[in-house]
Amino acid sequence: MASAYVLRETGGNLVRNIVMTVAAVVTMAVSLTALGGVLIMRQAINKATVQWQGGVQLAIFMNPGASGQEIKAIGDELHAMVPQEVQKYWWVDKQKAYAEFKEMFAGEPAFIKVMTVQQMPPSYRVVPAKAQNVPQLAAEFNNQPGVHKVGYPQQAINQMLSHFSTLRTVALVLAAGVMVGAIALIVNTIQLAIFSRRREVAVMKLVGATNWFIRVPFMLEGLAHGLVGAIVAFALTYFSRGTIASFVGNNSLNYGAPLYVSPHEAVMTGVFILVVGMLVGTLGSAFAVRRFLVV
């Protein structure tokens, strides 16, 4: 199949149905932007709660200058509590703490510059055997030698996740509803294009043209709808990622710092959006063409 023929036919179809093409692209862009927004907010929350992932409900932050003996004493005490009061625990040294710090405050480069690895408080991350044990464990370790503070901001995390859950539900419902509309527009656009050329298609079938020879230009038209809509959604989510992340609220776990998504994470979200857009456009157009291939 000549590529020149395929491109010519695809371009001709797009131009002939320019109004429907624009409508399909805009609808696809709205749907994929809503989907991308959910992913961006999810990434922002993951970054904000990096210290509390893996079931952690309690963090025992040591003083940066705590001695090895003080650190070992806390570790021995935690070990003695397994498994009755503590399900599991692990040690986060200064290097790991600094890596977490840079991730959480990636949107505040000036703040990162004034901090060093040696200023980071190492910590024990604790998963209690029962959630109700958290206040008791916090009180027990809070005044121990070498302990800076004990953190257990479960309420703040729950509030953030609850707010995100509401936003996610609204955005996914919007994305699903608009995606159905986008698919319907793509199917309708392709069917109008092929219906206007139904006699030509019939003649092509009668002279031996294969189904794929007829199908590919129309599938590429659907792919173009999905791809252009996805590119628009990609640009919107990438350049407005800070605004989208702010819908969840500020990071109350880290002194009210704004939630942040890195360019790399936004690009990965954009790649996913592009793949979804192309698949939806291609599969929708393939469905639209199928009924016209029987002569």
276 & 194 share domain = yes
Instruction: Give the pLDDT mean for 163-180.
Output: 85
pLDDT at residue 295, rounded to an integer: 46
In a domain, 233, yes or no: yes
Residues 6+ apart with CB under 8 A from 226: 28, 186, 277, 278, 279, 280, 281, 282, 284
Is 105 in contact with 32 (CB distance < 8 Å)?
Answer: no
Higher pLDDT, 77 or 295: 77
Please, what is the average pLDDT of the chain? 81
Number of Cβ within a 10 Å radius of residue 166: 9
The crossing angle, in degrees rounded to 10, of helices 154-195 and 263-290 is: 30
Is 0.75 topped by the overall pTM? no
Q: What DSSP string runs through 120-138?
A: SPPEEEEEESSGGGHHHHH
pLDDT at residue 291, rounded to an integer: 64
In a domain, 44, yes or no: yes
In a domain, 119, yes or no: yes
Q: What domain range is 258 assigned to?
A: 3-49+157-290
Beta strands 147-151; 86-92: pairing state: unpaired
Q: d(Cα 217, Cα 213) in Å, to the nearest integer?
A: 8
pLDDT at 51 over 50: yes
In a domain, 295, yes or no: no
269 & 144 share domain = no
271 & 204 share domain = yes
Q: Which of 151, 179, 194 is the last residue of a domain?
A: 151
37 & 164 share domain = yes
Higher pLDDT, 178 or 56: 178
Q: Which of 103, 133, 151 is the last residue of a domain?
A: 151
Higher pLDDT, 130 or 33: 33
Residues 6+ apart with CB under 8 A from 157: 49, 52, 253
110 & 176 share domain = no
135 & 261 share domain = no
pLDDT at residue 80, rounded to an integer: 92
67 confidence band (pLDDT: 50, 70, 90): very high
Adjacent-strand bridge partners of 231: none
In a domain, 165, yes or no: yes
231 & 282 share domain = yes
Q: Strands (DSSP E) along the chain, which ranges?
A: 58-62, 86-92, 123-128, 147-151
Instruction: Return the CATH number at 71.
Output: 3.30.70.3040
273 & 248 share domain = yes
Q: What digits encode the pLDDT tens for the residues 178-227?
A: 888 888 888 877 777 676 666 766 666 676 666 666 677 777 878 888 89
pLDDT at 94 over 90: yes
Q: d(Cα 63, Cα 245) in Å, to the nearest integer?
A: 32
Q: Which of 151, 178, 212 is the last residue of a domain?
A: 151
In a domain, 141, yes or no: yes
171 & 272 share domain = yes
Long-range contacts of 35-38 (CB under 8 A, 24+ apart): 35/171, 35/172, 35/175, 35/179, 35/233, 35/273, 35/276, 36/233, 36/234, 36/236, 36/237, 36/269, 36/270, 36/273, 37/171, 37/237, 37/244, 37/247, 38/167, 38/168, 38/171, 38/172, 38/175
179 & 279 share domain = yes
Instruction: Provide the domain count of the chain.
Output: 2
Is 241 in contact with 268 (CB distance < 8 Å)?
Answer: no
167 & 32 share domain = yes
279 & 241 share domain = yes
pLDDT at 125 over 80: yes
